[in-house]
Amino acid sequence: MVHFLIKVPSDGEASTTHEVLVFRLESFNDNSRYLLYDSGDETEMRFILVCEDEISEKTQEKLKSIFRKDVEAEEISIESIDQKTLSKILVARKLMVDDVNCCGKKKYLFTTKNSSQLLETAGAAVSAKEFTKFLVEYTDYIDRTADIAVNSMHNVVIINDHDVNLEPYIELLYGIMAAKGLLIEHIMIHGNMSDLRHTNRETQCVYVIEDEWELDDNDDYFPLSAHEQLLNAIFGEESFSAASLRTDLLTKIKDSNNIYIAPMKQDEYYKMVKHDLFSVAFPLVVTIGELNVFDKIRSICSIAGEYGFTVDEEGFADNRLISATSMDDIEIAVRKVVQQKLIAKEKSFIFTMSDLTIKEVNAQKTSAFDELESLIGLNGVKKTIKEIVALLEKRGKNAVPCLHMAFLGNPGTGKTTVARIIAKLFAEVGLTKKDLLVETQRGGLVGKYLGHTAQKTALVIKSALGGVLFIDEAYSLIERHDDAYGKEAIATLVKIMEDKRDEFVCILAGYTEDMNAMLDVNPGLRDRIQFHINFPDYNISELMQIFEKFCKENAYKLSRPARAALEDGITRIVGAKSHNFSNGRLVRKIFERVRIKQAFRATDDTITKSDVQEAFAETDIANLFGNERMAIGFRLSA
């Protein structure tokens, strides 16, 4: 085996993009040679090359084609090798023989800036001063612990309670680690708890744990592999308790050669830091605070700068939009405005506050109660939800055993819309921790084999903790009386609905008859559901209001004769409706057909009687009239 230090000179200009370079490197590496990034600066990039034999002429040409320039190959002398270079050679050898198991998303990052340059970048680009200060202290900490070969000393918790985009912060932190020589393989892996547990890659890289850490001792639904489930079945539930899983994960992190970054909420951190092993595995913590006005202005400058715009900052600091709106919404507004300016071919590349007010976003949020009230019809549903909230606000969350619900009714009656409002409403009044709605159906819960279904169902439920889980067409979980997969999903659901009844709300939705049949199959599921809410079909007046709402949202005018024709058609459809009448969905379908007819006929925005009649005359809609048919201008009896 022969080892080389490959030096790629820099001419001050990027010869290729980062992604293309990574792709070329991956195509170069095989089981006879491996090129591992070592370090870089303004003058050159350096790689460790491990080969079975001396560098051939063909390999030299291949290296030249990767970097688009001549490279220098310097053989590494065994006599003069140091510990750091030896570690890199050993990792390159390992990766050459076998690209070791890695669960999660890999991202290669070759840092060529030194720590001082990165700190200067952080001071200019990153909004949170606390983080910039932490980077300075972290850099000093690395220098002070340089002689201690315990990588877990560099693991970091990032507390983010304000939903700030952490990617720029994490990449700067990664850059400091790379610049200070902490990394051997220059990749960053993003994965969840399951990915982490099944990753065996130990190449001194960075692993970002993108998952919640709420592993209480009662969390026996924590996802297990098929092998673990088999052992659990043999040796009993205690063999894989949540406490043992937590200990195993933290031990793995503590003893790993890799460096771990764990974004989490403050309450998660307070819960986990009580465990001594967690404090050992993650000795460092930094909090990303809420961005102030000046932080947001700096971010606006950075975003606009991506498009080549400069920002006239006068007027931004005193604007209500900047202080009251989240950075995510501001970013969307800024990007939309600069794109509109580019499309309009404006010659001025200056971004002002007056530009941003054109697309003011989120200036005044609508409360969940207002959203509920604004829904057409559903008076009984609204009344029931208000009564539930009033009771819980008066008596507290413990006034009822649980908040799980069943929404019963035909399609298009607003079940999904109401579920979304409930998620927001319960968060606003403090019944749930966050405004979160996880929507799923049978396919999201049922796996490919027995055992996998329980794990898949548990993962979906875990993602909804703190909020609302909405299972649409829930009756489809039991497709047949012998549907073992569906029964496994329901059994898992029933257990967690009971064990975690205080931590999330589950809403099952579907046709009334089918839902009742499913609940009869598993009485335990029926017992877990506290509220059964019926969603009645919309009446004619409500269906008309829905159509008119579509017209208003899409800037159409409905002429008086057209409205009369529409009401006539909807009346006869309602009179002949089947047991699974599609309500609002049907109205949307009719609206889409009408707007097509209108667009073909005219260039204005008025819907006429003939547009409506032509839409009703199409076969699939005309069949909904039962024994009657509608023709343009007159009626036909069957």
Residue 54 Cα to chain centre, angstroms: 47
pLDDT score recorded for residue 508: 95
Q: Which residues, in sequence order, are CB contacts of 465 under 8 Å at separation 6+? A: 212, 214, 500, 503, 504
Specify whether the CB–CB gap between 179 and 114 falls below 8 A.
Answer: yes
pLDDT score recorded for residue 638: 36
Q: How far apart are CA 404 and CA 444, in angstroms?
A: 19
Instruction: Please state the φ and ψ torsions of residue 250, each to the nearest 5 degrees.
Output: -65, -35
- Find residue 190's DSSP bridge partners: 105, 208
Q: How many residues does the chain have?
A: 638
Pick the closest to residue 187 from 12, 18, 13 (CA basis).
Answer: 18
- Average pLDDT, consecutive stretches of 10 residues, N- to C-terminus, the chain (638 residues): 90 67 88 91 91 88 89 88 90 84 87 87 68 90 85 90 82 93 93 86 93 57 49 48 77 94 87 85 86 73 80 65 69 79 74 61 66 92 89 73 90 92 89 87 82 83 89 87 84 90 92 88 85 94 93 90 94 87 90 88 85 91 72 42
pLDDT score recorded for residue 449: 73
Buried b / exposed e along 389-413 (16+ C-beta atoms within 10 A): beebeeeeeeeeebbbbbbbbbbbb
- The one-letter amino acid code at 97 reads V
Specify whether the CB–CB gap between 46 and 6 falls below 8 A.
Answer: yes
Specify whether the CB–CB gap between 551 and 593 falls below 8 A.
Answer: no
pLDDT score recorded for residue 267: 79
pLDDT score recorded for residue 270: 80
Residue keyed to tokens 């604007």: 319
